[in-house]
Amino acid sequence: MSKPDPDRLLAEIGELVARFAPPGARLGRETELQSDLSIDSVAAMDLVMEIEERYGIDVPVNELADLVTLGDLVDLVARRLGERS
């Protein structure tokens, strides 16, 4: 699999994140999942499961504690996709 385009990945993951965020929330790399979007630790795990399914990857629960921003999440997915290819 070729390396994913970072902008496309941000847009795709942003779409999934929007389903867990308040309607109309603005989403950028710096957006904080918990403080800006009220996605708590439990919702974050469900969100990650959607992402895992979409990309066919596994994101261990151990790595979720380091996720603060949408950018962190995109980088994590890119890393996992890179490891797989």
Partner 1 sequence: MDIFDKHQALAQRRGQLLGTGADPFDLEIEALHGPCEATIRGRRTILVGTNNYLGLTFDPDCIEAGCEALRRFGTGTTGSRIANGTYAAHRALEAEIAAFMGRARAIVFTTGYQANLATISALAGAKDIVFVDSDWHASIFDGCRLSGATVVRFRHNDPEDLDRRLERNPNPDGCRLIVVEGLYSMLGDVARLREIVAVKKRHGAFLLVDEAHSMGVFGDKGRGVAEAQGVETEVDFIVGTFSKSLGAIGGFAVSDHPRFDLLRVAARPYMFTASPGPATIATVRAALAKIAAHPELRARIWDNARRLHAGLTALGFALAAPPGPILSIRLPDERTTVFAWNRLLELGVYVNLALPPGTPGGVCLLRGSVSAAHTTEQIDRVLDRFARLAEELGRFAASVAAA
Binding interface with partner 1 (CB under 8 A): 40-43, 45-46, 49, 53, 56-58, 60-62, 84
Q: Cβ of 1: how many Cβ atoms within 10 Å?
A: 9
DSSP character at residue 39: -
Cβ-based nearer residue to partner 1, 15 or 40:
40
What minimum distance in Å lies between the beta carbon of 37 and partner 1?
Answer: 14
What minimum distance in Å lies between the beta carbon of 23 and partner 1?
Answer: 16
Burial class (CB in 10 A: 0-12, 13-18, 19+), 77: buried
Specify the 3-state DSSP secondary structure of 32. Answer: strand
Cβ-based nearer residue to partner 1, 29 or 57:
57
